[in-house]
Amino acid sequence: MFNRARWRLVAFYCAILAIIFVGFGITVFTLFQQNMYVDVDRSLGNETSLFQAYFGNNATSAGNPCLIRRLSNLPTVDQSGPAPDWTVVNCRGRAVQSNAFYRNGIYAHGIAEALRNRASIATVTHDDHYWRVATLPIYQRAIPTLPVAGAIQFYGPVDGQIDQLHRLESVLVGGAVVGLILAGSAGFFLAERTLSPIRVAFDRQRQFIADASHELRTPLTLIRSSAEMVTQTAANLEAEDAELLEDVISEVDRMSRLVSDLLTLARVDNSQIDLKEAPVDISQVARDAHADVQPLASKKDLSSNLSAGEPEIVAGDDLRLRQLLLILLDNAIKYTPAGGEVRTEVVRQNGHVAVTVSDSGPGIPESAIPHVFERFYRADGARTHEGGGAGLGLSIADWIVRAHGGKIQIKNRPQGGTCVTVVLPLATMEKPGPRATSPPKPRVHA
DSSP string, 241-275: HHHHHHHHHHHHHHHHHHHHHHHHHHHHHTT----
Measure the CA angle with vertex 201, ends 196 and 206; round to 5°: 120
Spatial separation of the C-alpha atoms in residues 160 and 40, rounded to whole Å: 12
- Above 80 in pLDDT, residue 218? no
- 153 and 48 within one domain: yes
For residue 89, tell me if it sits in a domain.
yes
Q: Which pLDDT score, from 0 to 100, does residue 423 have?
A: 92
Instruction: Reply yes or no on whether the pLDDT at 332 is more than 60.
Output: yes
Same domain for 256 and 286: no
pLDDT at 439: 41
Q: What CATH number does residue 292 fall under?
A: 3.30.565.10
Q: How confident is the model at residue 383 (pLDDT cuts 50, 70, 90)?
A: very low
In angstroms, rounded to a whole number, what is the distance separating the alpha carbons of residues 11 and 314?
A: 37
For the chain, the C-alpha Rg in angstroms (whole number) is 41
Same domain, 282 and 420: yes
pLDDT at 278: 87
| pLDDT surpasses 80 at 308 | yes
pLDDT, residue 372, reads 84
Where residue 269 falls among pLDDT bands split at 50, 70, 90?
low
433 or 19, higher pLDDT: 19
285 and 394 together in one domain:
yes
Q: Is residue 48 part of a domain?
A: yes
Lowest-confidence region among 107-111, 141-145, 194-198, 410-414: 194-198
> Would residue 402 count as lying in a domain?
yes
For 72-91, how does the pLDDT look when each residue is reduced to its tens digit (9 = 90+)? Answer: 777 766 555 567 888 999 88
* CATH, residue 65: 3.30.450.20
- Interatomic CA distance for residues 88 and 152, integer angstroms: 4
Residues 120 and 80 in one domain: yes
- The pLDDT assigned to 55 comes to 83
Q: Which of 112-126, 308-322, 427-441 has the lowest mean pLDDT?
A: 427-441
DSSP states of 36-95: HTHHHHHHHHHHHHHHHHHHHHT---TT-TT-----SS------SSPPPEEEEEETTS-E
pTM of the model: 0.50
Domain termination site, one of 99, 123, 157: 157
pLDDT at res. 436: 39
Residue 167 lies in a domain: no
Categorize the per-residue pLDDT at 209 as very low, low, confident or very high, splitting at 50, 70 and 90.
low
Q: Is the pLDDT of residue 324 over 60?
A: yes
Domain co-membership, 338 together with 363: yes
Q: What are the pLDDT digits (tens) for 397-426?
A: 888 888 888 999 999 988 888 999 999 998
Does residue 382 surpass a pLDDT of 70?
no
Q: Chain-wide mean pLDDT for the chain?
A: 79
Which residues are within 8 A (CB) of 159 and not within 5 positions of it... i.e. 6 or more apart?
129, 130
- The confidence score (pLDDT) of residue 203 equals 66
Find, among 257, 256, 249, 254, the residue nearest to 231 by Cα.
249
Is 70 exceeded by the pLDDT of residue 145? yes
Kindly state whether residues 42 and 124 are assigned to the same domain: yes
Containing structural domain, residue 100: 38-157
Asked, for residue 446, whether it belongs to a domain, the answer is: no
236: domain CATH number is 1.10.287
**Predicted local confidence at residue 422, as pLDDT:** 92
Are 100 and 57 members of one domain? yes
Same domain assignment for residues 247 and 337: no
Res 193: pLDDT = 74
Count of domains for the chain: 3
Torsion angle, alpha carbons of 84, 90, 95, 97, to 10: -50
Residue 164 lies in a domain: no
pLDDT of residue 108 exceeding 50, the answer is: yes
Contact 249, 227 (CB under 8 A): yes
pLDDT for residue 267: 67
| pLDDT tens digits, one per residue of 219-234 | 777 777 777 777 776 6
Is 70 exceeded by the pLDDT of residue 384? Answer: no
Whether 399 maps to a domain, the answer reads: yes
At 261, is the pLDDT very low, low, confident or very high (cuts 50, 70, 90)?
low
Distance in angstroms (rounded) separating the CA atoms of residues 47 and 318: 89
Domain boundary among 220, 244, 269: 269
Specify whether 240 is located in the same domain as 132: no
Range in 33-47, 280-294, 334-348 the model is least confident about:
33-47
Name the strand (E) or helix (H) holding 352: strand 352-359
CA 128 to each of CA 102, 157, 169: distance values in angstroms, whole numbers, following the listed order: 14, 11, 20
More confident residue, 7 or 200: 7
Mean pLDDT of 240-245: 74
Lowest mean pLDDT: which of 3-17, 80-94, 108-122, 373-387? Answer: 373-387
Residues 238 and 369 in one domain: no
Judge whether 195 and 5 are in contact, CB under 8 Å. Answer: yes
- Domain boundary among the residues 225, 248, 269 is at 269
pLDDT (average), residues 25-35: 86
Helix 282-299 vs helix 318-334: angle between axes, to the nearest 10 degrees?
30
CB proximity list for 168: less than 8 A, separation 6 or greater: 28, 29, 32
355 confidence band (pLDDT: 50, 70, 90): very high
Same domain, 49 and 153: yes
Q: Does residue 388 sit within a domain?
A: yes
| 44 vs 312: which has the higher pLDDT | 312
Q: Which residue has the higher pLDDT, 195 or 297?
A: 297
